Amino acid sequence: MADSQVRSLSGTPVSLNDEQLAEIQGAIHGQVICPGDTAYDQSREIWNAMIDRKPGLILVCSGTADVMSAVAYARKHNLLVSVRGAGHNIAGKSLSDGAVLIDLSALKSVRVDPDAKTVKVGPGATLGDLDHETQAFGLACPVGINSTTGVAGLTLGGGFGWLSRSYGMTVDNLISAEIVTAGGARLVCNEQQNPDLFWAIRGGGGNFGIVTEFEFRLHPVGPMLMAGPTVFPFSQAKSVLGAYRELCAKAPDQLTVWAVIRDAPPLPFLEEEVHGTKVVIIVGVYNGELSEGEKALAPIHKLGDELGTGIGAYPFAGFQQAFDPLLTPGARNYWKSHNFTGLPDDLIDMLVDYGGRLPSSQSEIFVAQMGGATNRVDPVATAYPHRDTEFIMNVHTRWETEDQDKNCIDWARDFYDATRPLATGGVYVNFISEGEDRIDGAYGANYDRLAAIKAQMDPDNFFRENQNITPN
C-alpha cells in the first residue's frame, strides 16, 4: 500500500502510512479502498453527477462491527469522516474531499417478520430491496417513490411517498434502531431505550451516529393497487391545477395525488407527437380495494382534456419503480423545495409561469400531496416537525452537461425565491441541494432540542458531513 492523504477534523492534511493502513485493514472484514486503487473511482460515485469529490480513504463495511472499528480508527487518528448509505442524497453530503468515507452500501439485509408485521433493514438497502421482501407477504412500509433511493437517508430525513397519507411518514413507522455513536459504541434506541436519541434520528438526519439497522412497522398493502398517471396539455395547466387543488381537498386518506409539470416522457399510452411536449401529469394512487380505487381516481379524468392515461391496476412494488427511468444516476441535479399549507391562485400562476420556462428537457416541478396521517402527529413527537404541510413542492432541475449549470441553477433559485412568500418557511431536509442556508427551515421549532441532543451524543461534531446541527 502507498501512503494515503486524508483530512483531520481540523482540516489539516494527514498522511497515513502502510502501517496505519494495515491497521484498519486488519480491523474490518470489508474492503479498504485508497485513491489509485482499481475500485476507487467507481466506489466514490453517487447518484448526483454534480458531486465529484475524492475521499482520502473508503471503508466498505460488512457489518456493525466494521462500522464500530471504522469510527474507532477515525477517532484514534482524529480523521474527518463522511457516511454513505445507498448514495442517493441530492446534496452529496456522503462525500467529502479527503475524508474517510464509511460506506454502508453492502449492508443490504432486509428481514421480514410477517406475523409481527415488522421488518429489519440494513442501511445500504434501497426502497426496491425493501419492497421486494415486504410485498412477498402483502406488506409495505410508507417510504418514497423511487426504488433506487436508500432507506437510511430517506428515513433519517422523515420519508414520504404514496402510502404516507394512509400510514404516516417513514419515521412514524420506525420502531427501533441500532446506532453506532461518535464514541464507537453500539446503542439500541426506541421509545424505552435511549428515547431522546430515538426522537432525534426520526427527522434529524445523520447527526447523531451511524444507524446500522432500522426496524419498521408494516401494513397490509396490495399487492395490486389502482394507480397511474394521466397527462393533460400544458395550455390547460392553470385550470388543471385549480381542479387538482379541489380534488385534493376532498381526497380520503387512501388517495394520494401528485402533480408534475415537465416535458412528456415517451409513455406508452401517449401519441408519439405528444412526446417531448410540455404537459401537466397528474399521478394518483389509491391504497385500498381496486374497485374503490377506480371510483376514487375517476375524477382525475375530468380535470381537463386528457392526452392519455395509464391509470389501472398495478403491483405496488412495480409501481414503485415506474418513475425510475426519469431518475437514473449520472445526470446533474439541483433541487430547491418549499412546504405549503395550500395552493393559492398566486402559487398556481407561478407554477404555470416557471413551468412554461423549464431550463432543460429533464427538469420538472412536482407538487406532492401530503396531509392525512402525516399531519395527525404532534410536531414535537418526532424530530420531523412539518405536520402542517399539505403540499411539498420540489423544484427538480436536471440536465446532462456542465455548460448548462448556470442556466439551470439560476432558474431554480429564481423560482424558489419567487414562491418563498407563499411557503411555510419549512423544507424537507432530503430535498436541500445547498448546505446550511435552510437548516433552520428543515428542523424548525425542534432545532434547539436537536442541538442539545447533538451536544450530548456528539459534542465535538464528529459527524459533521451532513445537513449539520451544531452542538448546543
Q: Is 282 left (phi over 0), alpha (psi -120 to 50) or beta?
A: beta
Among 7, 2, 33, which residue's Cα sits nearest to residue 19?
2
pLDDT average, residue stretch 257-276: 97
Count CA within 13 A, CB hemisphere, residue 73.
28
Note the pLDDT of residue 3.
60
Residue type, 136: A
In this predicted structure, the answer to whether residue 405 has a pLDDT above a threshold of 80 is yes
Query: CB neighbours of 328 closer than 8 A, spacing ≥ 6?
Result: none
Share of the chain above pLDDT 90, in %: 96
d(CA 432, CA 19): 40
For 35, the grid coordinates are: 485513491
Note the pLDDT of residue 435.
58
DSSP code of 150? B
SS in 3 state form for 209-236? CEEEEEEEECEECCCEEEEEEEEEEHHH
Distances (CA, A) of 2 to 33, 61, 275: 11, 21, 52
Note the pLDDT of residue 1.
45
Element (H, E) at 442: helix 439-443
Bigger pLDDT: 308 vs 5: 308
CATH number of 4-103: 3.30.43.10
In this predicted structure, the answer to whether residue 31 has a pLDDT above a threshold of 90 is yes
In this predicted structure, the answer to whether residue 258 has a pLDDT above a threshold of 70 is yes
Task: Specify the 3-state DSSP secondary structure of 44.
Answer: coil
- Which CATH number is 110-220+445-457's, of 3.40.50.300, 3.30.310.50, 3.30.465.10, 1.10.287.130? 3.30.465.10
pLDDT average, residue stretch 21-32: 96
Note the pLDDT of residue 213.
98
In this predicted structure, the answer to whether residue 437 has a pLDDT above a threshold of 80 is no
What are the domain boundaries of the chain? 4-103, 110-220+445-457, 224-436
How many C-beta atoms lie closer than 10 Å to residue 229's C-beta? 22
Instruction: Supply angle C-alpha 235, 240, 244, rounded to 5.
Output: 160
d(CA 454, CA 428): 20
pTM (global) more than 0.75: yes
Contact 99, 465 (CB under 8 A): yes
pLDDT class of 433 with cuts at 50, 70, 90: confident
Overall residue count recorded for the chain in this entry: 472
Residue corresponding to grid cell 416557471? 354
pLDDT average, residue stretch 5-26: 94
d(CA 35, CA 21): 12
Among 358, 362, 356, 308, which residue's Cα sits nearest to residue 332?
362
Instruction: Supply angle C-alpha 128, 131, 135, rounded to 5.
Output: 150
In this predicted structure, the answer to whether residue 2 has a pLDDT above a threshold of 60 is no
Q: What is the rounded average pLDDT for all residues in the chain?
A: 96
pLDDT class of 472 with cuts at 50, 70, 90: confident
Bigger pLDDT: 373 vs 87: 373
| pLDDT (tens digit per residue) in 275-307 | 999 999 999 999 999 999 999 999 999 999 999
d(CA 357, CA 330): 24
φ/ψ (deg, to 5) at 365: -115, 125
For 27, the grid coordinates are: 480491523
For 418, the grid coordinates are: 419567487
- Burial of 38: CB neighbours in 10 Å, binned 0-12, 13-18, 19+: exposed
| pLDDT (tens digit per residue) in 132-155 | 999 999 999 999 999 999 999 999
In this predicted structure, the answer to whether residue 192 has a pLDDT above a threshold of 90 is yes
In this predicted structure, the answer to whether residue 223 has a pLDDT above a threshold of 80 is yes
Sign of CA dihedral 211, 215, 220, 223: positive
Among 355, 344, 336, 342, which residue's Cα sits nearest to residue 432?
336
Note the pLDDT of residue 439.
86
Contact 397, 344 (CB under 8 A): no
CATH number of 224-436: 3.40.462.20
pLDDT class of 55 with cuts at 50, 70, 90: very high
